[in-house]
Amino acid sequence: MPLTTEQESRHLEKRHRKARFFAIFCAAITWSSVLLLAVLLYQVSIEGFRWLDWQFISSFPSRFPERAGIKSALVGTIWLISLVALISIPVGVSTALYLEEFAGKGKISKIIEVNVANLAGVPSIVYGILGLAIFVRFFALERSLISGALTMSLLILPVIIIASREAIKTVPQGIRNAAYSLGATKWQTTWAHVLPASFPGIMTGVILALSRSIGETAPLIMIGAMTFVAFLPEGPMDSFTAMPIQIYNWVSRPQEEFHELAAAGIIVLLAVLLAMNATAIFIRNRTERRMK
Amino acid sequence: MSQFPDSTLAEQNLQMSKKSVLELRNVNIFYSDNQAVNDVSFNIRRNKITAIIGPSGCGKSTLLRSLNRMNDFVDGARVEGELIFSNENLYGKEVDPVEVRRRIGMVFQKPNPFPKSIYNNISWGPLINGYNGSTDELVERSLKQAALWEEVKDRLHESALNLSGGQQQRLCIARALAMEPEVLLMDEPCSALDPISTARIEDLLFELKSSYTIVIVTHNMQQAARISDYTAFMEMGDLIEFNVTKKIFTRPAMKRTEEYVTGRFG
C-alpha cells in the first residue's frame, strides 16, 4: 500500500534525524580525541616549559638537572631516523612493487602477503630481541646506531609494505595499458608511471611508519642503546641514545626536576616529529599537485 | 629515383595496398577454461579500416587485444592459432611482445592519458624506444595528425588531465601515432564520448587511413558502416561473416548478420 503524504513526510523527517544524529556522533568522537591530545599537550607544556631553553637542547645529560640536556639524544634520534628511512623506504617500496607488479598471483605471494600482515602486529619488543640476536650478536654490529636502525627498519617494514601496496593498487590499469601499448617494458611502465602515480599514497605510509619508529623505546632498550651518553655519534657504528630512551630514563628517576626534564624532552620529541611530518606532507602535496 | 615507370609504380602501390598486414589463421582464445574466440580467420588489409562488430561479450575486444598481445596481462588468457604479421607469428617463441606493441599501437575505450603534461604524453613512448630526433617536431606532428594541435599548442606543458574527454581521446590517438605504428588498434574509442567528439574522431580516422592501417572495435553499427572498408561480424566467439563493409550492410550472406545489422537483435 502506498504511503500517504503525511506518512511519507514523517518517514523522511525520521531519516533526516538519523543522519543528523550520526553526524553529531562522529563529530563528538573526533573532538574528544582532539581534546584528549590538547589536555596531554597542556599538561606536558606546563610541566616542561620552564626547562625548555637553548641550554637544554645543547647540553649533554648530567646528574644535575639544571645542567642536563637532550643534545646527545636529539642527535641520536636524527641519526637513527635518517638511517631507518634510508633502509626501510627502498626495501619496503621495492617489496611492495615486486608483490604488486612482478610476482604472480600464486601461492607464494599469498604466503608472503599473510606473513607481512601478521608481522605488522608483532610487539616491538620481539623485534628488539630479534635485533639483539641477529644484528648485535650474530653480525657483531655491537650496540651501534646501525643495529638500532636495522631493528627499527624491520619493525616498520610491514607498515610501509602494506601502505605502498594499497597505493600501487589504486593506480588505474588504464595507465599501465597505455604504457605497455607504446612498447614499454614492465620496468619502464613501473618506474615512469606506476611509481609516480602511487607516490602520494606511499608517502603517507612512510610518514606513519617513521612517526611510529621515532617514538619506539622497547626495541632500542633491548638492543642496548645507552641511557647516559656524553658524546655525539660520528658514524653508524657508534653507540648512541635516542630521545624516548632519555625521556624514559628521566621519568624513572626519583627527583621531581627530572620528571619536568622528561616533559621538556617530550616537547622536543613532538617538535621533531611534527617537523618531520610537515616536510613529508609538503613533499607529498607538491607531487600530488604536479600529477593533476 | 625509381627504376620503374610511373604507371608500374602506381600499380605496385595498388598491389601493396591490397596486401594484408595481419593475417589471422584459426585463432582460438581462452580465458582459463572458457573459450572466448573460436577458430577465427580473416585478413587485415593495409591502409584500410577494418571494423569488428557484434553484440556484447562476443569476443571482439578479446580478439582485438590479441593483435598486439595485450592479452598477455590477463591471468589465464591463452591464444592458439597463428597471427601472421610481417611474415612472423605474433605468438612465436622468438617474438618479443614489447616489440610487437611498439609496432602495433592501441587506443583504449576510456581515454587514459598519463597524469603528465600533454608534451610528455606524446614524447614518452618514442623516447623510451630510443627516438633521438627533435621531440618538439614529433609532438607537433603527432598532435596535428590527431587534429588536436590548434587546441593545445599554447599549453603543451599543462597537465593532460585538464583536457576534455574528447580531447583526451585525441591525445591518446596522437600518443599512439607518435610511435608511427604499422597498425593502429582501437577498442571502442568513442564509446565514452559525446556525439560531437565522436564525429571529430571519425573524421580523423578517415584522414589517417592514407598512412595507417586501422582495426576498430565498435558497438555502434552506424559508425562501422560510416567509416570502415571491411567489417567482421562476430557472435558468441564465432566469426559469422567477414566482407567489404558495403556488402555486410546491404547484402549480407548470413541471416544472423542481416538480423544484427538491421537491429533485430543485439
Give the tens place of pLDDT for each residue, B224-263.
Answer: 999 999 999 999 999 999 999 999 999 999 998 998 888 8
Average pLDDT over residues B81-105: 92
pLDDT of the residue at B67: 94
Would the CA dihedral through B79, B80, B85, B88 be positive or negative?
Answer: positive
Least confident of A110-114, A231-235, B59-63, B139-143: A231-235
Separation CA A136–CA A288 (nearest Å)? 40
CA-closest candidate to residue B217, choices B66, B76, B93: B66
Interface residue of A110, A182, A195 to substitute, partner B, most B CBs within 10 Å: A182
Contact A182 B115 (CB under 8 A): no
With a cut of 90, say whether residue A222 has pLDDT above it: no
- The pair phi, psi for residue B88, each rounded to 5°, is -130, 145
B86 occurs within a structural domain: yes
Residue-level pLDDT at A3 = 73
Look at B112 and A178 and tell me if their CB atoms are within 8 Å: yes
CA gap A13, A19 in Å, rounded: 10
The secondary structure element, H or E, covering residue B223 is helix B221-227
* CB-closest option in A181, A197, A291 to B68: A181
Within-domain flag for B88: yes
B55-91 per-residue burial string, b: 16 or more CB within 10 A, e: under 16? eeebbbbbbbbbbbbbbeeeeebebebbbbbeeeebb
Q: What per-residue confidence (pLDDT) applies to A241?
A: 85
pLDDT reading at A1 higher than 80: no
pLDDT category, A215, cuts 50, 70, 90?
Answer: confident
pLDDT, position B60? 92
Whether the pLDDT of residue B2 is over 70: the answer is: no
ipTM of the complex: 0.87
pLDDT at residue B153 above 50?
yes
User: What residues contact B239, with CB distance under 8 A and at least 6 apart?
Assistant: B39, B40, B41, B42, B232, B233
DSSP A252: T
User: Contact A183/B112, CB-based, under 8 Å?
Assistant: no
| Kind and range of the H or E run holding B217 | strand B213-217
Given this model, what pLDDT does residue A292 score? 56
Query: Is residue B13 scored above 60 in pLDDT?
Result: no
The range of the structural domain enclosing residue B250 comes to 18-261
pLDDT confidence band for B1 (50 / 70 / 90): very low
Q: Please determine, for residue B15, whether its predicted confidence score (pLDDT) is greater than 60.
A: no
pLDDT at residue A58 tops 50: yes
> Hey, are the CB atoms on B115 and A185 less than 8 Å from each other?
no
pLDDT higher than 80, residue A42: yes
In a domain, B101, yes or no: yes
Q: How confident is the model at residue B17 (pLDDT cuts 50, 70, 90)?
A: very low
Question: Would B150 be classed as within a structural domain?
Answer: yes
**Chain B residues lying within 8 Å of A181, measured CB to CB:** 68, 70, 101, 105-106, 108, 176
**Partner residue facing B106 (CB), from A172, A181, A291:** A181
From residue A198, how far is each of A123, B83, B108, B110 by CA, in Å? 29, 36, 22, 20
Does B8 reside within a domain?
no
Contact status of A12 with chain B (Cβ, < 8 Å): no
Helix H segments across chain A? 5-48, 54-57, 71-97, 107-119, 124-131, 145-169, 173-181, 186-189, 195-215, 218-223, 243-251, 256-291
pLDDT > 70: what percent of chain B?
Answer: 92
Q: Starting at the edge strand that comes first in sequence, how are the strands of the sheet with B20-31 ordered?
A: B88-89, B77-85, B20-31, B34-45, B238-244, B230-235, B49-53, B213-217, B183-187, B104-107
CATH label of the domain that carries residue B187: 3.40.50.300
Average pLDDT of chain B, as a whole number: 88
Residue A291 banded pLDDT, cuts 50, 70, 90: low
B5 pLDDT more than 50: no
- Topology of the domain comprising A54-291: MetI-like fold (1.10.3720)
Amino acid at A94: S
What confidence score (pLDDT) does residue B89 get?
92
Helices (H), B59-210: 60-66, 97-103, 118-128, 135-145, 149-152, 165-177, 195-208
If we measure between CA atoms, which residue out of A284, A276, A279 comes closest to residue A199? A284
A contacts of B101 (beta carbons < 8 Å) = 180-184
> Chain B contact for A171, CB < 8 A?
no
B114 contacts on A by Cβ (under 8 Å)? 175, 178-179, 193
Separation between Cα atoms, residue B215 and residue B27, nearest integer Å: 16
pLDDT of residue B8: 55
Strand partners, B85: B22, B88
Question: Quick check: A292 contacting B, CB < 8 Å?
Answer: yes
Phi, psi of B147 (to 5 degrees): 55, 40
B87 domain residue, yes or no: yes
Angstrom distance (rounded) from CA A16 to CA B160: 41
CA dist B62 and B144 (Å) reads 31
Other residues' Cβ atoms within 10 Å of the Cβ of residue A125? 14
DSSP state of A3: P
Contact A84, A152 (CB under 8 A): yes
Predicted confidence band of residue B118 (pLDDT cuts 50, 70, 90): very high
Give the chain A residue nearest B174 (alpha carbons): A182
Angstrom distance (rounded) from CA B266 to CA B262: 10
Angstroms from A107 CA to nearest CA on chain B: 14
Q: What confidence score (pLDDT) does residue B194 get?
A: 86
Number of domains in chain B: 1
**Mean pLDDT on B176-194:** 91
Kindly tell me the sign of the dihedral angle through the C-alpha atoms of B112, B116, B122, B128: negative
CB contact under 8 A, A177 and B105: no
Q: What is the pLDDT of residues A23-32, one digit of tens each?
A: 999 999 999 9
Give the best residue of B69, B74, B100, B112 to mutate against chain A (max A CB count within 10 A). Answer: B112
Chain position carrying cell 634510508: A86
- B217: nearest Cα among B97, B81, B65, B111: B65
Measuring CA to CA, how many Å separate B95 from each of A135, B99, B130? 47, 8, 19
pLDDT tier for residue B4 given thresholds of 50, 70 and 90: very low
Cβ contact B128–A291 (<8 Å): no
Chain mean position to CA B126: 19
Say if residue B7's pLDDT is above 60.
Answer: no
Of B70, B75, B124, the CB nearest to A105: B75
Once rounded to an integer, what is the mean pLDDT over residues A226-252?
83
* Packed helices B135-145 and B165-177: angle between N→C axes, nearest 10 degrees: 120
